[in-house]
């Protein structure tokens, strides 16, 4: 699985079917599921994503995770009530597995089919909620518009194939 994380001041998603979701300060996470991915890949992301230190502490150093970003240690960088986690906007993104080595048209053959990808994304969302995060989502398979205000910018790529 690949997850592209973008730290944001705020983000909003509008889906073709009318669904809308929004977060304040937090992370937009674009997730691509590969054909070879399974529950172990979800567990690997769950072990890393909520705990990455991407938010500033009281001294302005990226020392706080999404779960800790509004803790007392955040000082004036906190934007919500103490001990309130930041928001997370989770978006399915099969194009993260595009192969561009040949020609000019990306090949998406490594991306998982919806029947495989959707249950893994559901498992990821449920695990993030169980960890204590507020998770908003787009609608799987729909055309989506994402508006975000990048914070930093801070952008990271997590790949469960890279050890």
**pLDDT 10s digits, 16-45:** 999 999 999 999 999 999 999 999 999 999
- 94 catalytic residue (yes or no): yes
Which of the residues 6, 55, 94, 160 is marked catalytic?
A: 94
The Cα–Cα gap between 151 and 8 comes to 5
Give CATH for domain 2-52+85-159.
Answer: 3.50.80.10
pLDDT of residue 83: 75
Q: Does residue 163 have a pLDDT over 60?
A: no
Three-state secondary structure readout of 113-137: CHHHHHHHHHHHHHHHHHCCCEEEE
Q: Does residue 101 have a pLDDT over 80?
A: yes
Which of the residues 93, 116, 123, 140 is marked catalytic?
A: 93
- Indicate the pTM of the whole model: 0.93
The Cα–Cα gap between 71 and 113 comes to 40
Which of the residues 6, 44, 55, 95 is marked catalytic?
A: 95
Helix (H, G, I), strand (E, B) or coil at 148: strand
Per-residue pLDDT, averaged over 9-15, amounts to: 96
Where exactly are the structural domains of the chain? Answer: 2-52+85-159
- 93 catalytic residue (yes or no): yes
- 74 Cβ neighbours under 8 A, 6+ residues apart: 55, 56, 57, 58, 64, 68
pLDDT in tens, 67-93: 998 888 888 888 887 778 889 999 999
């Amino acid at each position: 699985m690949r997850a592209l994380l973008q730290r944001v001041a705020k983000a909003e998603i509008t889906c073709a079917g009318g669904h809308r979701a929004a977060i304040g300060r937090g992370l937009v996470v674009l997730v691509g599921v590969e054909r070879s991915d399974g529950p172990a890949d979800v567990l690997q992301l769950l072990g890393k994503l909520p705990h990455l230190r991407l938010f500033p502490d009281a001294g302005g150093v990226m020392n706080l995770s999404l779960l800790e970003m509004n803790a007392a240690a955040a000082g004036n960088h906190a934007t919500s009530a103490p001990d309130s986690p930041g928001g997370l906007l989770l978006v399915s993104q099969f194009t993260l597995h595009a192969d561009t080595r040949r020609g000019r048209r990306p090949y998406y053959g490594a991306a998982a089919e919806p029947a495989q990808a959707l249950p893994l994304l559901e498992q990821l969302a449920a695990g993030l909620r169980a960890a204590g995060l507020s998770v908003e989502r787009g609608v799987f398979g729909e055309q989506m518009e994402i508006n975000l205000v990048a914070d930093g910018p801070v952008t990271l790529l997590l790949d469960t194939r890279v050890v």
